[in-house]
Amino acid sequence: MFFNKVDSLLYNNSRVVIAFSGGLDSTALLHYLSIWHKVHPQSNLRAIHINHGLNINANSWASHCRKLCLKWKINCSILKIKIKNTNKKGIEATARKERYKALISSLYPEEILLTAHHLDDQCETFLLAIKRGSGPLGLGAIYPLIIIGNNKILRPFLEYPRKLIKSYAKKYHLNWIEDESNYNIDFDRNFLRNLILPKIIAKWPNFIETTTRTSLLCRKQELLIDELLLDQLENLISKDGSLYFLPLLKMSDIKVYALLRRWIAKQGSLMPSYNKLKVIYYEIILSRKDAQPRLKLGSYEIRRFRNYLYILPINKSLKNITINWKNLNTELVLPQNLGLLKANYNNKLIRLPIYNEYVTIQFYANGSCHLVGRKNKYKIKKIWQEFNIPPWNRHRIPLIYYNQILICAVNLFITVDGTVLNDNNGWQVIWDQNKDKHNQTEKYSYINKDC
C-alpha cells in the first residue's frame, strides 16, 4: 500500500472529515479514504470544500469537488467564505486563518479533520518560519496532530513526499484541479517552491528530509518544555481559565513568556508573537492598578482584573440594547449567547409589575441605586466592584427594569424599588446560562500554523 500511515491513525468507527480543495494532494487523500471507508463501513466519511471566492474559477472548482464526491459516494459540503484582506502580501495568511475557522466551526463533536499536507509542505513551512525569525514552536512547522476541544486535526501525509502522492494519483488515473496561482512567485511559499527549493535540492538531494528532522527536534523540545512547566502552569490557572500572574513577577522574562504562550494556547486563542508577549507583560501585567489595558489577539482580547489575566472573545457592546419582555410566561433568549431568562413564581424575590409598568431587560445602569438591606444609596460602579464583577462583564449582566426604574440585576442584587409588597405578590427571574443546551455555542479557535 502507498499510505499505511493513514490506516494506523484511524479506528474502525472513526468519523472522518477531509479538507478537500480538489488539488492533487487532497484528491489523493480523499480517494485513498474512500477505499478505506469501504473496508470500514461502520466509519463515517465526508468532505468539506472551502470556496474562498478569490479566483475566477472558484465556483467551477467547487462544482468539480461536488461531482467527484458524488462519483465516489461521499457527502460533500461547500462552504463560501469572505476574505476581507485583499492585500496580496497578507492574503495567504488571511485566507488560511478564515479557512481553518470555517472548517473547525463545521465539525461535529468527535469528528477528525484530515488535511493533505505532505513532506514538501513541511520543508517549505520550516523555511518560512526561519524567514519570520520564529522560535522552536514555529520551527516545528506543521504539527501532525492538533486537538481542539472534542476534535482532532490530523496530517497523515506529512511523512510522504509530493512525488509519491503524484505517483499514486497517476496509478489510479485521478483528476485534480491545477490552481494557476500556485506558480505566482509573488507569494512567499510559491517563491520557495518554484525558484529556491529546486536549486537547493539539486545541490543537497536530502535537504527536505533533514529539515523535517530539524522540525521534529523542535517539536520534541517544545513538548519537553510543556512537560516541565505543566504543573506550575496548572497551579496558576483558575477554574474560569484566568491566569494568576503575581508569581510571574519573580520569574525571568524567558520563563514568563513560556508560561504565557502555553496559557494562551490552552485557551484556544491566536498564538502571540514575541513582541506581543512583551506587551502582555510590560503593558498589561505591570500597568497601574486602576488601568484597564487590553491586547487584541485575533477574535480574542487579553485583559486584566485584580491579579488575574483573562482571554475573552471580542463582543459588541450591549450598553444601548433594550429588550421588551412582553409575556413573562415566555422564555426570553438573550443576545450574544448569554442564555435565556424565565419566570419562576414559586420564589417571591421581587414584586410583580403593576398594570402600567412594562418590563424590559437592559445591560447598563448609571448613577446610584438603593439595594435591599442597605441604609444608603451606592454608585453603580462601587456595587460592581463590591460584587467583584470585571469591567467587561458589567454590560453583560441582564438588568430588569419596570419602565425606567431598575428593579434588579439578575442573580446579584435587588433594589428597594423591587421589594415584594405586603400582598406577597412576587416572582423570581431565572437566568439559564447553559449555552450548549440552547445550541448557541460558537467556536472561536483556529490554528496559527503556516499551512
Give the pLDDT score at 87: 57
Q: Are 409 and 399 in contact (CB under 8 A)?
A: yes
From residue 79, alpha-carbon distances to 125, 206, 321 in Å are 26, 39, 32
Residue 105 has a pLDDT of 87
Sheet holding 413-414, edge to edge: 322-324, 359-362, 399-402, 405-409, 413-414
Q: Where are the alpha helices (DSSP H) in 372-444?
A: 380-386
| Whole-angstrom distance, CA of residue 104 vs CA of residue 152 | 10
| DSSP-assigned beta bridge partners for residue 427 | 350
Structural contact between residues 112 and 10, judged by C-beta atoms closer than 8 angstroms: yes
- Whole-Å CA distances, 75 to 46, 63, 68, 139: 5, 13, 10, 36
* Cβ-contact 34, 46 below 8 angstroms: no
Q: Nearest Cα to 389, choosing from 410, 368, 370?
A: 410
> How far from each other are the two terminal CA atoms of the chain, in whole angstroms?
26
Residues in the chain: 451
Q: Are 151 and 110 in contact (CB under 8 A)?
A: yes
Grid coordinates belonging to 175: 483528476
Looking at residue 81, its pLDDT comes to 84
Can you tell me the distance from the alpha carbon of 134 to that of 222, in angstroms, rounded to the nearest whole number? 13
The predicted pLDDT at position 89 comes to 52
How far apart, in whole angstroms, are the C-alpha atoms of residue 173 and residue 171? 6
User: CB of 165 within 8 A of CB of 115?
Assistant: no
The answer to whether 24 is annotated as binding is yes
C-alpha cell at 273: 508573537
Q: How deeply is 228 buried, as exposed, middle or buried, from its count of CB atoms within 10 A (0-12, 13-18, 19+)?
A: exposed
Helix, strand, coil percentages in the chain from 3-state DSSP, rounded to 5? 40, 20, 40
Q: Which three cell numbers stand for residue 12?
A: 474502525
pLDDT at 202: 95
207 CB-contact burial (10 Å; exposed 0-12 / middle 13-18 / buried 19+): middle
What are the backbone angles phi and psi of residue 354, rounded to the nearest 5°? -85, 180
Q: What is the CA radius of gyration of the chain?
A: 27
The CATH code of domain 237-313 reads 1.20.59.20
Question: Is 23 annotated for ligand binding?
Answer: yes
298 is in an annotated binding site: no
Is there a common fold for 9-203 and 237-313? no
The CATH classification number of 9-203 equals 3.40.50.620
Distance of CA 342 to the CA centre of its chain: 30
pLDDT tens, position by position, 15-41: 999 999 999 999 999 999 999 999 999
Q: Is 25 annotated as a binding residue?
A: yes
List the domain boundaries for the chain: 9-203, 237-313, 322-432
Can you list the residues of the chain whose pLDDT is less than 50? 436-451
Task: State the Cα torsion 402-403-408-414 to the nearest 10°.
Answer: -70
Q: Are 48 and 190 a contacting pair, CB within 8 Å? A: no
